[in-house]
Amino acid sequence: METFNPQVRFRMDARGDAFFETAITGKPSQKKNRTERIDLVIGSGRKGQTYLYWRGDQLFELPVSYWTASDRWTNSPGYVDGSADFERPVTPRCLECHATTFTSLPAATGYHFDKSNFLLGISCERCHERAAEHIRMRAANTVNSNAEATTSAAAPVPNSSAPLPPTGIDRARQIDVCAQCHGGVGESVTPPFSFRPGEPLSSYLKLEPPNPRARVDVHGNQVALLEKSLCFQSSPSMTCSTCHDLHAPERDAASYSDRCLTCHKPESCPTFTQTPHRQSATCIDCHMPNQTSKSLVLDIDEERIGAQVRTHWIRVYPESTQPH
């Protein structure tokens, strides 16, 4: 990968079953190489992937990431184009949004982790409590259902095959589960990964309240944007899972319209009625358009480029609601 600095470039290699990043620096006659193995991969690849390497029991972000939208290698978030830096430490708060669990080790300085005890990606336990507890709850639900069925034939029997909500019926607690990662910048009150679904997130993580004078960024704080929406404010039951199927891949833009139309009539939308090909009209492209993030920014070709992320502030955007 070339950079704007003619004396800095990177090479990505595969050697056997391992992958490596190499920085090549200096003039042709004085070249120096630094190579680190790609030990961990974070990111689903839908927007991109970033790579980490172990140095002892510490984790560091590698300087080159893959950016899906442009199908290219690029500088990792936080790194400046044209520099060969391998020294950006990975913090526990970073990992809380990209992993199910990591065990931190006590240390005088820096962030240290147990290399034998971690789980990448977001697993069931991040939303449904630890597996043993989830099974216990389901078993109790089944027992209660059977007892109710035997005591009263007329009494309604709960559907024991239906999935249990991760946090019961309280809307705030359900949204807290999503806010672990989608609530913006925060400071841990308790040790990382100690939050348990169903408990107030504020007891574990103090999220920075949105600055009323500043624009809430579309990348890191979807919860605050959703809470600004009239749809959310006028519905006592709307949560993230009202629109998102949390157990399936992301839906296409058109399929989200079905969720919108459970409350809204298409005839009430002037743009929809003026769209020649109505079957291709999508509510979220007009009312939740992609916007440029100011927090997820890459330094590419001497230009700072923000990722395109769909806003969760549902409202009318005049520039997006013109008939096509």
- Residue 116, in any domain of the structure: no
- Residue 28, in any domain of the structure: no
Average pLDDT of the residues in 190-201? 90
pLDDT given at position 165: 54
Instruction: Quickly tell me which residue has 């309280």 as its tokens.
Output: 170
- Residue 188, in any domain of the structure: no
- Residue 190, in any domain of the structure: no
Local structure of 183: helix, strand or coil:
coil
- Residue 71, in any domain of the structure: no
Local structure of 285: helix, strand or coil:
helix
Residue 239's domain spans which residues?
Answer: 216-324
- Residue 136, in any domain of the structure: no
State the pLDDT confidence band at 149, using cuts at 50, 70 and 90.
very low
pTM exceeds cut of 0.75: yes
Backbone region of residue 45 per phi and psi (left: phi > 0; alpha: psi in -120 to 50; beta: other values): left
- Residue 38, in any domain of the structure: no
Number of domains in the chain: 1
pLDDT given at position 44: 84
DSSP per-residue codes, 193-235: T---TTS-GGGTEEEPPPPTTSPPPTTT-HHHHHHTSHHHHT-
Q: Taking 70 as the threshold, does the pLDDT of residue 142 lie above it?
A: no
Flag the least confident range among 67-76, 182-191, 280-289. 280-289
**CB-count burial class (<10 Å; 0-12, 13-18, 19+) for 15:** exposed
Q: Taking 50 as the threshold, does the pLDDT of residue 158 lie above it?
A: no
CA angle 250, 90, 127 (to 5 degrees): 40
Mean pLDDT of the chain: 83
Please list, residue by residue across 229-239, b when 16 or more beta carbons sit within 10 angstroms of its beta carbon and e when fewer do.
bebbeeeeebb
- Residue 30, in any domain of the structure: no
Please list, residue by residue across 39-58, b when 16 or more beta carbons sit within 10 angstroms of its beta carbon and e when fewer do.
bbbbeeeeebbbbbbeeeeb
Average pLDDT of the residues in 120-142? 76
Question: Smallest Cα–Cα separation from 243: which of 207, 280, 282?
Answer: 282
For 162-175, what is each residue's pLDDT tens digit? 445 565 668 999 99
> What φ, ψ does residue 52 adopt, rounded to 5°?
-125, 155
**Bigger pLDDT: 175 or 134?**
175
Share of the chain above pLDDT 70, in %: 82
Question: Which helix H or strand E contains 297, and what residues bound it?
Answer: strand 290-300
For 4-30, what is each residue's pLDDT tens digit? 888 999 999 999 999 999 999 998 888
pLDDT given at position 177: 92
